[in-house]
Amino acid sequence: MSHLKEIKVSENAPRRIGLVDSASRDKSCKVMINYLVRHPKYGKYVRRRTSLHVHDERNEAKVGDRIEIAECRPISKTKSWTFVRVIDSKGGVAEHVTEGTGS
């Protein structure tokens, strides 16, 4: 699609940092942004998350990577963020902790 080559991100565009949750689609990935919010009544901090669909032209992001994204014009119904750079790469390797049986 030729209209995707015209995506330009300004220097003052809002930027976020998040973890890649899914990268199975072509030129797209799903990024989870985790944050804490203080409960208004009880004062306890509650974990919240936001899921954003991100345009990744060269398919650089892998599952588990920490990436920087920037807001841009709407690309599709759900995508209005674009990939900027990889901050920390996990290489798509999931870390699993195995516990002993104790015998």
Residue 49: closest CA among 19, 27, 15: 19
pLDDT value, residue 96: 44
pTM of the full structure: 0.77
Going from N- to C-terminal start, the domains of the chain cover: 13-88
CATH architecture of residue range(s) 13-88: Beta Barrel (2.40)
C-alpha to C-alpha distances, 1 to 7, 50, 98, nearest whole angstrom: 12, 28, 45
Task: For residue range 51-64, list pLDDT tens digits in order.
Answer: 999 999 999 999 99
Task: For residue range 14-50, list pLDDT tens digits in order.
Answer: 999 999 999 999 999 999 999 999 999 999 999 999 9
> From its phi and psi, is residue 76 left (phi > 0), alpha (psi between -120 and 50) or beta?
beta
